[in-house]
Amino acid sequence: IKPSLTRDLNGTYTGTKGEDLILSIAGTGNPHPTCQWFKNNTELTVATDTRIEFKEDKTTNEYF
């Protein structure tokens, strides 16, 4: 089954320095889809910024 988003991001998000900003999407597909996050066409990883934390809930297909 082709991957598809069942809940996408909305437009623009603004964070406050020192506070968490949580972005969340949900999707379906088979095999189970994976998620990559990008900012200004650069992939965000824990290697590029140790403040970043990625979570995945396979029971709800949500990615944070």
Mean pLDDT of all residues in 5-22: 85
Q: How many CB atoms lie within 10 A of CB 24?
A: 12
Report CA-CA distances (Å) from 16 to 13, 20, 22, 43, 53. 10, 8, 11, 21, 17
Distances (CA, A) of 32 to 12, 19, 24, 54, 58: 27, 31, 17, 17, 8
pTM: 0.66
Q: What is the pLDDT of residues 14-51, one digit of tens each?
A: 889 888 888 888 888 888 888 888 888 988 888 877 78
Asked whether the beta carbons of 29 and 3 are under 8 A apart, the reply is yes
